[in-house]
């Protein structure tokens, strides 16, 4: 993911990144870690709310979050699924853009139909 200027945007981006990493690698965490990360980053629950729901302290929630986040970043560093996926999506978007240019400039109906089918297939991958 790109890094943006400004504190608020970086915080939002980090939340999105952790949410995506939990989707990718959450099964490799403990069930409790994955659930708490989901509650915090996807369901937008506070540490206090999560603590109350799980009958644990707020500090325990924070510790579980930090350990889970560290594991998620470690998995991504080693496996790089998110990095490769984002790279592939950018390449697909570029190909789609180029196909659209060809489609607009070419009047052959058969070629236009083929290009449309290719675009549909590529859109399924993004």
The boundaries of the domain holding residue 71 are 7-79
* Span 42-67, average pLDDT: 97
| 26 and 47 part of one domain | yes
Residue with tokens 């990144």: 17
| 117 and 71 part of one domain | no
| 46 and 108 part of one domain | no
Q: What percent of the chain has pLDDT over 70?
A: 87
Tell me how many domains the chain contains: 2
Q: Is residue 113 part of a domain?
A: yes
Higher pLDDT pick, 23 / 110: 23
pLDDT category at 62 given cuts 50, 70, 90 is: very high
Q: Is residue 16 part of a domain?
A: yes
| 58 and 104 part of one domain | no
Token readout for 27 is: 């099964």
Q: Is residue 1 part of a domain?
A: no
How much is the pLDDT for 84? 84
For 2-36, the pLDDT digits (tens) are 444 455 555 668 899 999 999 999 999 999 999 99
Q: Is residue 2 part of a domain?
A: no
Residue 102 in contact with residue 114, Cβ under 8 Å? no
């Amino acid at each position: 993911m790109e890094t943006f200027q400004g504190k608020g945007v970086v915080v939002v981006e980090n939340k999105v990144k952790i949410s995506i990493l939990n989707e990718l690698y959450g099964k490799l965490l403990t069930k409790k870690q994955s659930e708490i990360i989901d509650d915090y980053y996807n369901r937008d629950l506070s540490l206090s709310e999560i603590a109350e729901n799980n009958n644990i302290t707020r500090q325990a929630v924070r510790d579980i979050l930090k350990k889970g986040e560290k594991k998620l970043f470690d998995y991504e560093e080693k496996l790089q699924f998110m990095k490769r996926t984002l790279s592939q999506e950018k390449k697909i978007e570029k190909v789609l853009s180029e196909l659209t240019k060809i489609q607009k400039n070419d009047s052959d109906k058969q070629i236009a139909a083929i290009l449309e089918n290719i675009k549909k297939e590529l859109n399924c991958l993004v």
